[in-house]
Structure formats: structure tokens, C-alpha cells
Amino acid sequence: MSVITTRTAVVRPKFWREPELRIAFETAKRITAHFAKSFYFSASIFPTDRRWATYAVYGFCRYADNLIDCPRDRTKEELYAEVEALRQEILISFRTGESEHPIMRAFAPVATMYGIKIEYALDMLKGVTMDMEQSRYATFDELYVFCYRVASVVGLMMTCVMGYKDESAFEYAEKMGVAMQLTNILRDVQEDKNMGRIYLPLEDLDRFGVDETDILQERFSPELKKMMQFQVERAHYYYDEGDKGIPLLPKESQYAISSASKIYRGILRKIEERDYNPFLGRVFVPQRKKMQILLGEVMRTKIMV
């Protein structure tokens, strides 16, 4: 019989209801409900302790990401100062297991209880600051580092929370995160170029004969189509790899990852339906379709149990 593992101290019963933590966990829950409706619905079917731990993890990741992504009247130096302040709070709270920071207050005890490595949290901060430092990526290897930091580490943290049957689950979670971030990049080519960013590796543009100006001026050439098709196929490869890790999760958590994989792959399908043209507006999977996928995966998992 396989044993589900969490590298963790003993989880305190109903930790989210402890008087000094309750407001912080409720805040993390509201952040999740506001910014990630499908993810919030998925988490609502988790066992209660994992559900509240998921809110804490998502709340931290969203807060860190918003430091840079949310347009605010901040200088670059002030943004760096905010990120550095959060980094210092991470270092202290991981050492002590507690924090007065509104987001870390919930995340710090969850990290302790579920054995989330401090490297994951620090890598997340490195990822969000990359957008202030880099608007081009020379190679896919460079882009992979970005994808890992802003997306894969979320999957690694969630693997700690959900539990796993084998350490290799983390390797597959990394690949799933890369797949999802590549999907975001392909979906947002138009939006990103309007902000002066091109995430598509320059080596790939050169390989397919695409010039940066083709993207900046929205020229959908045959060469750009081939390059986009290549990127979509690369993302599918990483989904195929990531999906291999789903059976390594506990049965009651598998539906969340399998549905997320299918929903995000749906974005790739939409790009394919548009003949790989990234300049026709942002593609998305309708909320009703997301719910259908999620409920279908829940039912399939229940039957398998």
C-alpha cells in the first residue's frame, strides 16, 4: 500500500480557527475567491485542513505577484524595497513559524506544518522581480528559469500541502508549472508586447525567421505562425510530462490538478482554433466550461476511489 507523505510537523487540528490566525486565513480565502474563482472552487472540495492551507499558499503567491504586476504609483526602487521587505519577513517567519504580516501570518504556520521549503517562497520573489529586470529571454533555458520561479514553485508548495506517494511527484509538479506559464505567455503575446515585453525566446524567433518587429507591429507572417505552433507543441509536451505526476497524489486531490491541466490546455486549443494568431485578442475558457471540466474530474475521481 502506498503511503501519502507530507514532510511536516504534526498539523494542529483546526489551525485556521485559532483566534490569533482566523482573520489572516479569512483574508487569504477572500484573495483566492477574488483572483482565482476556478481554483477557489477546486479548493473548496479539498479536505478542510488542506483547503485552508491552500488559501494561505495562494494568498502568499498572489500577494508577491501583485507587488510588481499591479499598476501602482511606485518607483522601481520602492518596488524593490517592498520585495526586499517581504523577503526579510519570509526569512524571519520561516525561522520562527509566525508573523504579523497580513499575508505571512497565515502562510508562515502553513509552511511549517506542511514542510514547505523556504527556497520555494524565495524563488517566487526572484521570479516576480525578473519582470523589472528583463523584458527579453535569449534562450528557452533562460525562460524556463522564469517559468519555474513564478509558476512551478506554486505547484511544489501545493504538492507539500496535498501530500504525495513518491518524491518524483515534485519533478512532475515542476513540469506542470512550466506548462501553465508557457500557456500564459502564448495567451498574452499581444498584451505583453504592449508593455514592451517579449517572453518568446529570441533563439526561437531567429530559428523560424521571425523579427521582433513582427510581434511589436502585429504582423502575423507564415514564419510567426510556425513559431507559435512550435511553442504550443512545446507546452503540450510539458503538460504530458506534468500529467504523469497526478497518480502520485492522494485520490482526493487528483481532480484539482487534472482539471487545472485540462482547463489550461483548453487555452492552447483556443490558440490552435485561431490558427495560432496571437493578435486577435485574449483567448479564454468560459467559466461554464471550466466548471464542467472540474465537476467531470471530481466525478471521475470519486468513481476511481
pLDDT at 293: 87
Q: Are residues 157 and 105 in the same domain?
A: no
pLDDT at 191: 95
- 125 within some domain: no
Long-range contacts of 294-299 (CB under 8 A, 24+ apart): 294/38, 294/41, 294/42, 294/255, 294/259, 294/263, 296/259, 297/254, 297/255, 297/256, 297/258, 297/259, 297/262, 298/45, 298/255, 298/259
pLDDT at 291: 84
Picking from 132, 164, 161, 130, the residue whose alpha carbon sits closest to that of residue 147 is 130
Q: Are residues 155 and 297 in the same domain?
A: yes
Whether pLDDT at 7 is above 50: no
CATH (domain of 81): 1.10.600.10
Picking from 190, 182, 276, 270, the residue whose alpha carbon sits closest to that of residue 229 is 276
pLDDT at 287: 83
Locate 124 and state its grid cell: 517566487
Whether pLDDT at 110 is above 60: yes
Q: Are residues 188 and 111 in the same domain?
A: no
* CA 87/CA 122 separation, integer angstroms: 7
Share of the chain above pLDDT 90, in %: 77
Q: Are residues 105 and 153 in the same domain?
A: no
- 20 within some domain: yes
Q: Are residues 222 and 163 in the same domain?
A: yes
How many structural domains does the chain have?
2
Q: Are residues 162 and 101 in the same domain?
A: no
Q: Are residues 143 and 193 in the same domain?
A: yes
Residue labelled with grid coordinates 504550443:
232
Q: Are residues 279 and 210 in the same domain?
A: yes
Whether pLDDT at 200 is above 50: yes
What number is the average pLDDT over the span 48-58?
Answer: 95
- 50 within some domain: yes
Q: Are residues 107 and 228 in the same domain?
A: no
Q: Are residues 181 and 229 in the same domain?
A: yes
What number is the average pLDDT over the span 163-173?
Answer: 96
pLDDT at 12: 67
Given 71, 90, 118, the domain boundary residue is 118
- 4 within some domain: no
Residue-wise pLDDT tens digits, 268-292: 999 999 999 999 999 988 888 888 8
Q: Are residues 153 and 113 in the same domain?
A: no
- 279 within some domain: yes
* CA 148/CA 152 separation, integer angstroms: 4
- 213 within some domain: yes
Given 89, 118, 147, the domain boundary residue is 118
pLDDT at 2: 40
What number is the average pLDDT over the span 209-231?
Answer: 97
pLDDT at 9: 40
pLDDT at 305: 52
Residue labelled with grid coordinates 522564469:
146
- 6 within some domain: no
Q: Which residues contact 66 (CB under 8 A, 6 or more apart)?
A: none
Domain that holds residue 24: 13-118
More confident site: 137 or 298: 137
Share of the chain above pLDDT 70, in %: 94
Q: Are residues 109 and 239 in the same domain?
A: no
Which range (114-128, 187-201, 223-237, 282-296) has the least confidence? 282-296
